[in-house]
Amino acid sequence: MDAQIKKDLLDFIWSEGLLAKGHLVSSPEHPEKAYRIIIKKDEFMDIIAEQNGDMLVVVPEKSIMAFSKKTEKTWEPKYYENLSIEDKLTARVHF
């Protein structure tokens, strides 16, 4: 994983408090641009860095949320229809 992508992913995960929900591992589907947070045995979320700098929070078969960097430490939700999703996932969008 590229050092800048790793930094951006970790900054996002820390700023949004996502590790309070589980523990961090590398993502088997996207090791070059994503981390996985394991919540329970069969429950997890992937945090994926998009090329344009946005972050996707993907909970398979439940939701996809996207965030754009607002300032150095804050992120704001982004509309789903503006995203270029690479993965084919069944999802509902929650905003």
0.85 exceeded by pTM: no
Beta-bridge mates of residue 44 = 38
Instruction: Let me know if residue 24 belongs to a domain.
Output: yes
Q: Which domain holds residue 49?
A: 3-71
Asked, for residue 86, whether it belongs to a domain, the answer is no
| 9-41 confidence digits (pLDDT tens) | 999 889 888 888 799 999 988 899 999 999 888
Any domain includes 77: no
Residue 90 lies in a domain: no
What pLDDT sits at residue 89?
41
Question: What pLDDT is attached to residue 79?
Answer: 56
3-state secondary structure of 85: coil
Per-residue pLDDT of 47-93, as tens digits, reads 999 888 888 888 877 767 777 877 777 777 775 544 444 443 433 33
Look at residue 77 in the predicted model and tell me its pLDDT: 75
Residue-by-residue DSSP string for 25-91: EE-SS-TTTEEEEEEETTEEEEEEE-TTS-EEEEETTTEEEEEEE-SSS-EEEE-GGG----S----
On whether residue 87 sits in a domain, the answer given is no
Q: Please check whether residue 88 lies inside any domain of the structure.
A: no
Total number of domains in the chain: 1
